[in-house]
Structure 1
Amino acid sequence: MKTIVIISSFILAGVLTALFFGFNLASGTSPIEYDDDQEGISEQVIIRFSHVAAENTPKGMAARYFAKSVQAKTNNEIQVEIYSNAELFQDQNEWEALTDGKVEMIAPATAKLSTLFPNWQVLDLPYAFPNNKAVQEAYEGKIGEKLLNDLSQSKGEGLGFWYNGFKQFTNDKRPIIEPEDMDQLHFRTMPGPIIEAQFEAVNASTSELSFNKTYQNLEVDFVDGQENTASNIYSKKFYEEQQFMTISNHAYLGYAVIINEQFWNKLSESHQKTITTSMEETTDWIRRHSIEINDSHIRELKRTSDIKIDVLTNEQKKKWKKRFMPVYIHAEKSISPSLLKEIKRIQEHYSSP
């Protein structure tokens, strides 16, 4: 009898063990139920887009237009987060932030790249572009293609160029009409050998200062003046610390839109195509709208500020161009001859007879 009880106990224990382990094995290999919301979060691509301009400038508007376009085309699979007004990085360190992967996109002024890539100085040449059509041919033609190719040796992938407008002079000392009026004035500038040579040609001194520190330096009279587009002069309120403005159109301010190369290469072919398409659409949009944005800001400056605005005549511009000729000789030392030849061709093609 005792033997029967022992045997029964072993059988019962075996059945229970089999049931226990069988249950756990079954539960361990059962499919995991997916959560659609969680899956969407894990697969969403975030692009941190840092720039230093105000939101109501051509670059600020273009950034928002681009972000909306990308998000709409990808059904929000890609989210572009805009950080304007140097919220994350100043213009001096945004390139480093991009190449270190701290942000995925930047849109620096083309001049900011001239110290890293000498050929980019070609876009800073004074009176390089007679009109907006000439700028477009440079940005979207042979010059733009060559400059974006120069970035292939870096950690940045060039997506294209965005437009702002022609630069004007402002200062707090006197009207600037003739080249001699620049004598002994001190200007805030962006970095770049060509820009420095431009001011040296008219006997003015310069300090390379962050865009978002310009107002403070004008306020404390560390510098007498600066050069910029009407949209930047208006949006950053430089007119509050400047008495005189000259519509000179002596150089053009535009931007290179650059994405981190490693990040770009990890994107799917479909996402790359979408970003490229949105970039092309945004470029077309800002090319058309940047002119009106700057014109409207000039009208606002005339209507709401006390700054005195002078407009150079064609005859006066000829004097400035003659004074700036040494800058072109200086450029031959560091800029590709083919680029200088193309700039000359564009100038001749679009100059008035």
Structure 2
Amino acid sequence: MRTIMAITLFILTGILTALFFGFDFSKAANSLEYDDEQEGMKDEIVIKFSHVAAENTPKGRAARKFASLVQERTRGKIKVQIFANGSLYNDQNEYQALLDGHVQMIAPATSKLTKHYPKWQVLDLPFAFPTQKAVQEAYEGKIGNILLNTLDSDHVKGLTFWYNGYKQITNDEKPIILPEDFTRMHFRIMPSPVIKSQFKMLDASTSVLPFNKVYRNLEVQFIDGEENTFSNIYTKKLYRHQKYLTISNHAYLGYVVLMNGKFWNRLSPENKKIINQALKETTEWNHRHSIETNDQQKRYLMKTNALKIHYLTNEEEKRWKEALGPVYHKAAPIVGKKLMNEVDRLQKKYSY
């Protein structure tokens, strides 16, 4: 008992001594050594840029070029951190992550915006843009301007469009040559009503799956096939679980570069100018290199002999267009007259 009382008395004495004389915590804090690597960190701006494509695809390369230009021209004051291959967010949750401010930039496929902005379905219309020049005029002309202006700038800032390439059809069942060959097959698609409508017109079923889960779903044969660019088919090795490829060029896959609206509004005019200029140069570079990349990876796919490849003839393409014609009528009231008229104008201008 005496031992317990002695210990208690000792503790109370210590507490009272500390209260009486005080404890100078400021000296303890100030005694920490100064770390010169911390200098200037409060002035650094970090942009987290999340995307789902591989690093050696048109989007992956464009993201790295943009990051390099921004860091160089701001002398490291703005650092763009790239998170490729869906390593941070997949294509089904990256948009919400942008709105919540968990990332500052994303570059989703344009189809991914159709859920929030229905007019964006115009870019998914089958055979909408006959040539690369038609795609470029759509993105950088009237169609692109109208679509970017539909975005809610308080929440998301649309900056530019990036290019990938025309989509092709792959599957593991049989050669797809005519529209009726799609009957009773199951395809992975992106979440766009126009894309879903296309496959429905062809009597095929669909599932919306994240891009980074396509390979696995082909492997376990949950889906029979998918539509994609040569660069995505090659870099994601989708050909390993597919036997047939139809070179159809039936639609174009491109991206829109988005930034969190609040983050953009907090940037200084000077930094906005630097970012816009870097994006302009990157977009011009991306347009050229997307064509080269898809051509190169198309040749790689042909060399692998992993796929039996069929090129649509003019007559076969005509059959596809006739079968998919009703998609235009269904989309027109949603897309609106201005955009539909511009698609019609581009088709006439660049028809071949």
TM-score of the pair, normalised by structure 2 = 0.89
Q: Identity rate of aligned residues, in percent?
A: 57
Which AA in structure 2 matches 1:351?
A: S
- Tell me which residue corresponds to 1:47: 47
Please say if 1:233 is aligned against 2:233. yes
Whole-angstrom CA distance in 1 between matches of 2:161 and 2:137: 11
Helix, strand or coil for the counterpart of 2:130? coil
Q: Map residues 190-205 of structure 1 onto 2, 5 A cutoff.
A: 190-205=190-205
Structure 2's unaligned 5+ residue stretches are 1-33
Contact 2:171 2:242 in 1 (8 A): yes
Query: What CA distance in whole angstroms lies between the structure 2 residues aligned with 1:168 and 1:140?
Result: 24
Q: In structure 2, how many angstroms separate the alpha carbons of the residues matched to 1:253 and 1:71? A: 28
Q: Determine if the alignment matches structure 1 residue 143 to structure 2 residue 143.
A: yes
CA shift at 1:37, angstroms? Answer: 4.8
2:100 is aligned with 1:100: yes
Q: 2 CA distance for matches of 1:324 and 1:212?
A: 28
- Counterparts of residues 171-210 of structure 1 (less than 5 Å): 171-210=171-210
Give, in whole Å, the separation in 2 of the partners of 1:295 and 1:287: 13
Residue in 2 that maps onto 1:6: none
- Which shows bigger deviation, 152-161 or 339-348? 152-161
- Looking at structure 1, the residues matched to 292 and 187 of structure 2 have their Cα atoms a distance apart, in angstroms, of 27
For 2:36 and 2:76, locate their aligned partners in 1 and report how far apart those are by CA, in whole Å: 14
Change in 2 beyond 3 A, CA 1:298/1:103: same
Moved beyond 4 Å, runs of 4+:
34-37
Contact persistence 1:239–1:305 (CA under 8 A): no
Query: What is the identity, as a one-letter code, of the residue corresponding to 1:98?
Result: L
Task: Please say if residues 48 and 105 of structure 1, whose CA atoms lie closer than 8 Å, have aligned partners that are also in contact.
Answer: yes
Show the 5 A alignment for 1:111-190.
111-152=111-152, 155-190=155-190
Aligned counterparts of 1:305 and 1:87: Cα–Cα separation in 2: 31
- Look up the equivalent residue of 2:176 and give its one-letter code: I
Tell whether the 8 Å contact from 2:126 to 2:324 is kept in structure 1 after alignment.
yes
User: Over aligned residues, Cα RMSD in angstroms?
Assistant: 1.2
Q: Contact 2:153–2:261 (CA<8 Å) still a contact in 1?
A: no
Q: Does 1:58 align with 2:44?
A: no
Question: 2:302 aligns to what SS in structure 1?
Answer: helix
1:299 counterpart = 2:299: yes
Aligned AA (2:351): S
What TM-score, normalized to structure 1?
Answer: 0.89
The alignment partner of 2:48 has SS state of strand
Question: How many aligned positions are there?
Answer: 319
> Taking structure 1 as reference, are residues 280 and 60 closer, same or farther at Cα in structure 2, changes over 3 Å only?
same
Q: In structure 1, how many angstroms separate the alpha carbons of the residues matched to 2:305 and 2:152?
A: 45
Summarize deviations over 1:181-225 as a string: whole Å, max 9, x none.
Answer: 111110000001100000011111100001000011001111000
What per-residue deviation string (whole Å, max 9, x for no partner) do you get for residues 263-318 of structure 1? 00111111000000000000000001101100111100111241111111122111
* Structure 1 residues 209 and 246: CA distance shift in structure 2, 3 A: same
Aligned 8 A contact 2:242 2:307 in 1: yes
Larger Cα Rg: Structure 1 or Structure 2? Answer: 1
2:321 alignment partner in structure 1: 321
Q: Distance in 2 between matches of 1:192 and 1:225?
A: 17
Partner in structure 2 of residue 336 of structure 1: 336
Aligned to 2:4: none
The answer for the alignment partner of 1:109 in structure 2 is 109
Structure 1 residue 148: Cα displacement: 0.6
**Comparing 328-337 with 220-229, which one deviates more in the overlay?**
328-337
Q: What is residue 88 of structure 2 aligned with on the other side? A: 88
Q: Is the 8 A contact 1:168 1:247 kept in 2?
A: yes
The residue type equivalent to 2:194 in the other structure is I
| 1:82-116 CA distance string (max 9 Å, x none) | 00000000100000000000000000000000111
SS of 2:257's equivalent?
strand
- Aligned-partner Cα distance in 1 for 2:340–2:154: 23
SS of the equivalent of 2:123 reads helix
- What CA distance in whole angstroms lies between the structure 2 residues aligned with 1:205 and 1:41? 52
Paired with 2:159 and 2:35, the residues of 1 have a C-alpha distance of 36
Q: Return 5+ residue gaps in structure 1 as ranges.
A: 1-33
The 3 A distance-change label for structure 1 pair 237 and 324 is same
Match of 2:216 in 1: 216
